[in-house]
Amino acid sequence: MRFPHAMTSAAALSALLLAGSTGFAQQATDAHAPEMASGITSKAAVRAKEQMVAAANPLAAEAGLEILRKGGSAADALVAVQTVLGLVEPQSSGIGGGAFLVWYDAASGAVTTFDGRETAPAAATPALFLDGKGEPLAFFDAVVGGRSVGAPGVVRLMEAVHQKAGRLAWAETLQPAIALAEAGFAVSPRLNALLAGDKDKLATQAAARAYFYDAAGEPLAAGSLLRNPDYAETLKVIAAEGADGFYKGAVAEKIVAAVKAHETNPGLLTLDDLAAYEVKEREAVCAPYRGLDVCGMGPPSSGALTVGQILGMVAEFDLAGLGPDDPESWRIIGDATRLAFADRGLYMADSDFVKMPSGLLDADYLKERAALIRRPTALEDDAVKAGTPPWDKAELRIDGTSLTQPSTSHFVIVDKDGNIASMTTSVESAFGSRQMAGGFILNNQLTDFSFAPESDGEAVANRVEPGKRPRSSMSPTIIMKDGKPLHALGSPGGSNIIPYVANTIIALADWQMNMQQAIDLPHLTNRFGTYTIESGTAAEDLTDDLDALGFKTSVGELNSGLHGISILPDGLEGGADPRREGVAIGD
């Protein structure tokens, strides 16, 4: 039996996007879906029998589902979803960026991860983001141009997972994106709004201006048909030559030329840097929570470790009994998040370069940290500092500052054999470095490093070093129960990704919400001392209570892009974030 799903033609899907970010989602929303206070229509959970895709754009989700229908695996569908996302959602991810994948192999029952994070050029030094006076550059002075571009990892990652678990021919998995790039797609209202908002940066770059803006210099209107023949040609090379067609030869030459050609902010990336890039398969980092195993991406991501620390601390409290409406729940969660972020800032970085404490997820250590929260009010700022976990020859480093931007995407795929891909993918800032090559955006992921490499002569863990991968907050997650997968999820959102994911897991495990309900839950996040409360939602009702508990509070936009799928005894249930244009669809 085939479960209902939305229209399948690219033209029909593009037309639906013109109605706005909720146009497609209404295909799977019941007539009585609640309205979020901000006016965003909550989406109903979507059910499927055997296979499903949840992704940030309907065109990408449908491309992945069509690959599954052809007999492809989650690995095959991953390639289709990512390459279409890079076309229709170029502000967030693409082949010029990097990604982390958590993969569940149904045959072996194993969870593993693929690290496709960008790497710093061989010529990079810790002073990469310092000015002539040795002071850190302003963020966007570093971003726009070639300086911020690292060697992209997405294409090698796609190839690696396809070689491991693909069923269809490599070229076939790229065909949906090639066809759509040649035929064109309708610019969505979201893309139009982002083009307008970034005009002062993006439109200053010749290639981007020619592609995204009209002759009068205005952003392409919603509904405009946008073709990208250059991207199609790049994908055809990759289809014919594999990942080597991207990392060597004409495409690589275009990337390096774009990086070096910027007049005021050229970069250091070379052909040798691209040719040397390797994706790394790493052991998953798994943390226990309420009888579940929460598995995610370890360093250079701080995601699984920090999420695991938050969960390990709140596990000492009865969140289920308190519920999501009790400010006490959010006091506990908020202070646990602050303590975890203190450890993250001091200790976490690319573990190929920095020796990290072995005991960041040690149960006794997290109980000690949780004891700090056993109090009636919020922790004072001076009490929120990194702890001393078990070491095992770790290097004590100095905390550093780095900015992460919420221009990322997450998707989840489950195929009929039970293989699962949970992948977070990014070009970092909206439209990355604003440089284009071969029809795609180049990342600015190097600005995820700390700009200041040292303090008082001591090294920052997340400093720039040649070949190093910058610390990330991306938190693709697969949750296991008794050795079987139960949920898969993740989100964009910069460093807010970590509380978005942790809070969603708490909603699933403690408050017994389904995936869509957990995703819909209004956001409250506290990473560095100020409790940010999602504007236009019921969470605003907690502001006075949190103030009374001693928190500094701020009401503002918290634009996540959570996508997730639950594996149920009788099928699959997917959820997509109502704050964006994503969908869950399946058969």
Query: Each residue of 367-403: pLDDT tens digit?
Result: 999 999 999 999 999 999 999 998 765 554 555 544 4
pLDDT at 458: 82
Binding residue numbers for L-glutamate: 117, 448, 472-473, 494
Q: What is the pLDDT of residues 479-524, one digit of tens each?
A: 999 999 999 999 999 999 999 999 999 999 999 999 999 999 999 9
Where do the domains of the chain lie? 10-280+402-523+558-586
The CATH number given to 10-280+402-523+558-586 is 3.60.20.40
Q: What is the pLDDT of residues 293-319, one digit of tens each?
A: 999 999 999 999 999 999 999 999 999
Mean pLDDT of the chain: 91
pLDDT at 199: 95
Q: In the predicted model, is pLDDT for residue 32 greater than 60?
A: no
* Residues marked as catalytic: 408
Please tell me the pTM assigned to this model: 0.92
Residues 6+ apart with CB under 8 A from 191: 88, 89, 90, 91, 222
Which of the four pLDDT bands, split at 50, 70 and 90, describes residue 134?
A: very high
What does the buried/exposed string (b/e) look like for 357-374 if buried means 16 or more CB atoms within 10 Å of the residue's CB?
A: bebbbeeebbeebbebbe
Per-residue H/E/C for 453-491 = CEECCEEECCCCCCCCCCCECCCCEEEEECCEEEEEEEC
Q: What is the pLDDT of residues 391-435, one digit of tens each?
A: 765 554 555 544 445 479 999 999 999 999 999 999 999 999 999
Q: Which two tokens stand for residue 209?
A: 């201006």
What count of Cα atoms within 13 Å lies in the side-chain half-sphere of residue 496?
Answer: 22
Q: What is the pLDDT of residues 190-225, one digit of tens each?
A: 999 999 999 999 999 999 999 999 999 999 999 999
Percentage, residues of the chain above pLDDT 70? 91
